[in-house]
Structure 1
Amino acid sequence: MDTITVKRRVMMPIRAGDVMAEFISFQGDRSGKEHIGISFEGKTPSFASHVPLVRLHSECLTGDVFGSGRCDCGEQLDEAIDLINQEGGYILYLRQEGRGIGLYAKLEAYALQDKGFDTYQANDMLNLPEDGRDFRIAAQMLKALGVSKIRLLTNNPDKARQLIMYGIDITEQVPTKVHVNQYNHHYLKTKADRKCHTMTFDD
């Protein structure tokens, strides 16, 4: 198993300087992927804030950067920044585009979804895993930061399951909002139905 350690910490103003966060790089991951930890000090100390709020956010170029309506990634990242900046904790930004299949493969899957297949059917047709992410690296990053107990910001039960399996104590699973629109409703409903994501829909 790789030994992950902190390489560099750099303070950075984000949101045009409205928020200050510490960006943290790591070394020892032989996959060569440049995962980043983002630390927020928090503004409202409370009992809950003694256990950091943590979001594992998988890279989504289309959603995070371009605001694609086909997913809810950009909205979830914005929500995580707001919450964790308030309460204190970490965003682990993981370079696992398209649930681990990569950007080009994600676009191929989108093309199949345009023909009526859901996200999991499309991946299967491309001989790709439904979800190829391994959150072991996130557990290793947390341990490198000296964190073994967290509150996890997610609707995805698999993130919690994997972190627990890799030795992270989760005291609370905090759900994210359901950022639904006309373009991603079917995608989000499929995640809830097929993978038990904790989401509630009005219809």
Structure 2
Amino acid sequence: MPEARVPEAAPLGLFSLPAAEVLAYPATAATTLTRVAEARVPLEDAPEARIVAFRAADGGIEHLAILVGDPEGLSAAGGAPLTRVHSECFTGDLLGSLRCDCGPQLRGAIARMAQDGAGVLLYLAQEGRGIGLVNKLRAYTLQDQGLDTLDANRALGYGADERGFLVAATMLRQLGIPRIRLLTNNPDKVAGLAACGIEVAGREPHRFAANGVNDHYLETKAARFGHLLR
């Protein structure tokens, strides 16, 4: 029996692209991020704040930098501004969900930067550790059936953490901030940013108490994701 032939893309009016280029897309898009808008936005815990929007060359979704005080000036003077790399969380940041600690981490970071005098919070469009809001909700359903955060993501066909740190590193370089003090409990963020050329002068702990609902979630972050307890 003759081997079936797959029709070429061009005669069908389709565009073909090598698989390697598809797989390289996230990194390629990250390196093309540029500043597209900026405005002063006084915040409840940080009256002297600005928001800078970044967009990749392909016109994709925007990532935001929340600048408290003058972290660029501090960096230019040789300092290392307090920095938080925060993945957006619709349920936690906006709705106050008790399933995670994202909301307290977001607001706590901004307040801490205001107290410190300067800082930058990178608000990245990487919902649910990079799997998106819809899949995060599906993961929640699996967690209610007994899986933890990591296994729920894997059951949906994703890795434990689908985020990349090149987006954050590119934004910091665009802001002129190559050296930071990182506000995190996640050693992977320290290593990831360092691998992308950002000097992490120190790690500042950023931990909040369990609320009775997210206890297992926080335990999983420590036991299976390697988050530090202090």
TM above 0.5 = yes
CA distance in 1, matches of 2:161, 2:59: 18
Q: Which residue of 2 aligns with 1:173?
A: 203
1:92 aligns with 122
Deviation at 1:31, TM superposition (A): 7.0
Q: Residue 69 of structure 2 corresponds to which residue in structure 1?
A: 41
* Of 61, 72, 76, the match for 2:105: 76
Question: How far apart are the structure 1 equivalents of 2:218 and 2:199?
Answer: 27
Cα gap change, 1:111 to 1:161, in 2 (>3 Å):
same
For 1:31 and 1:161, locate their aligned partners in 2 and report how far apart those are by CA, in whole Å. 29
Q: 1:142 aligns with which of 169, 172, 181?
A: 172
Residue 12 (structure 1) aligned to one of 41, 45, 53: 41
Paired residue for 1:190? 220
Determine the C-alpha separation between the residues in 2 that align with 1:142 and 1:30. 20
Q: Distance in 2 between matches of 1:11 and 1:195?
A: 36
Which is higher, the Rg of structure 1 or of structure 2?
Answer: 2
Alpha-carbon displacement from aligned partner over 1:25-82 (angstroms, at most 9, x marks no partner): 124353712100111117xxx9xx9310000010000000010000000000011010
CA contact 1:37–1:92 (8 Å) conserved in 2? yes
Is the contact made by 2:46 and 2:68 (CA closer than 8 Å) also made in structure 1? no
Moved more, 6-15 or 185-194: 6-15
Q: Percent identity?
A: 46
Shift in CA distance, 169/31, structure 1 to aligned 2, threshold 3 Å: farther
**Cα shift readout 1:77-121 (whole Å, capped 9, x = no counterpart):** 011010112211100000100000011101111011111111111
What aligned pairs does 1:96-135 form with structure 2 within 5 A after superposition?
96-135=126-165
Measured in 1, the distance between the counterparts of 2:54 and 2:141 equals 35
The answer for unaligned runs of 5 or more in structure 2 is 1-27
CA shift in 2, pair 1:18/1:167, >3 Å: closer
Cα deviation digits, residues 158-198 of structure 1 (max 9, x gap): 11111000000001000102331111110110110111101
The CA deviation at 1:130 is: 1.0
TM-score (norm 1): 0.90
For 2:46 and 2:67, how far apart are their aligned partners in 1?
15
**Aligned pair 1:25/2:53, yes or no?**
yes
The amino acid that maps onto 1:176 is H
What's the Cα RMSD here? Answer: 2.1
Q: Which stretches in structure 1 are left out of the alignment for 5+ residues?
A: none
